């Protein structure tokens, strides 16, 4: 199986964040014999929709599976292959404890779709197979909803295409809300630390990533 890890960083501030997290991403790729790809030119606005280019990357470069991680994700040195046993689509269901399903159904209805939301995944870390590229379908040109960037739209697409979800263990998408809900410790339990919702202060985000990276190194992770 040909695999890649894809991330994206647009603008100088996010490229500086990627400079901090990329060494761990590349280490992960080397350990698991996975190609590393960083997208640095946005294709649309909101820029997060640019991850839809993953479908084109798989089709043109022959990848069977892509693992996507946001640029603000630290991967530990002992993180196993996230794509192992991932099925066709694998992501963390944050809708199990953060109610986003009502808004997802409402947004789908605004575009004429009727769905029965079964889950609401966080798209900061996910694994997708070339058999599930429908999940990456874009909205009509010029009508890109910005509800948690592209995240709610992608959840709608997964439901419309009836793509089965393999639930990702929260240790692979360990956000602050996840730590609090599941009682995890980012330094000892997490395999991927995701700084979702921290970008309102990029200086603090930078310092937090540097500090956590140093702590992981101290722990041999």
Model pLDDT, residue 199: 83
Model pLDDT, residue 43: 86
| DSSP summary character for residue 159 | H
Per the CB < 8 A criterion, the answer to whether 63 and 3 are in contact is yes
- The CA distance from 110 to 89, in Å, is 25
In total, the chain counts a number of residues equal to 221
Residue with tokens 């009727």: 114
Model pLDDT, residue 102: 87
What tokens does 181 get?
């809900």
Residue with tokens 């998408």: 173
Per the CB < 8 A criterion, the answer to whether 31 and 62 are in contact is no
- The CA distance from 37 to 82, in Å, is 16
Model pLDDT, residue 97: 86
CA 135: distance to chain centroid?
13
Per the CB < 8 A criterion, the answer to whether 9 and 71 are in contact is yes
Model pLDDT, residue 139: 94
pLDDT digits (tens), the chain, 221 positions: 999 999 999 999 999 999 999 999 999 999 999 999 999 888 888 999 999 999 999 999 999 999 999 999 999 999 999 999 999 999 999 988 888 888 999 999 999 999 999 999 999 999 999 999 999 999 998 889 988 899 999 999 999 999 999 999 999 999 999 999 999 999 999 999 999 988 889 999 999 999 999 999 999 99
Q: Which residues pair with 63 in a beta bridge?
A: none
Q: Phi first, then psi: what are they for 2, rounded to 5°?
A: -90, 125
If 0-12 CB within 10 Å is exposed, 13-18 middle and 19+ buried, where does residue 35 land? Answer: middle
Residue with tokens 């079964």: 118
């Amino acid at each position: 199986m040909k695999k890649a890890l894809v991330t994206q960083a647009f603008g100088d501030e996010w490229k500086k964040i990627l400079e901090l997290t990329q060494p761990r991403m590349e280490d992960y790729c080397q350990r698991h014999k996975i190609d590393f790809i960083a997208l640095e030119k946005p294709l649309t606005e909101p820029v997060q929709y640019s991850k839809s280019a993953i479908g084109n990357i798989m089709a043109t470069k022959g990848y069977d599976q892509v693992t996507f991680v946001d640029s603000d994700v630290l991967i530990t040195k002992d993180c196993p292959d996230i794509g192992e046993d991932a099925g066709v689509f694998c992501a963390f269901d944050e809708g199990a404890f953060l109610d986003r399903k009502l808004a997802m159904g409402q947004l789908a209805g605004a575009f004429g779709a009727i769905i029965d939301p079964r889950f609401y995944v966080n798209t900061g870390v996910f694994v997708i197979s070339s058999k599930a590229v429908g999940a990456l379908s874009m909205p009509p040109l010029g009508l890109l909803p910005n509800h948690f960037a592209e995240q709610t739209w992608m959840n709608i697409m997964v439901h419309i295409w009836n793509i089965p979800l393999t639930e990702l263990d929260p240790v692979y998408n360990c956000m602050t809300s996840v730590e609090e809900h599941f009682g995890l410790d980012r330094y000892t339990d997490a395999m991927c630390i995701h700084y979702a919702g921290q970008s309102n202060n990029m200086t603090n985000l930078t310092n937090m990533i540097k500090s956590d990276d140093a702590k992981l190194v101290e722990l041999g992770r």
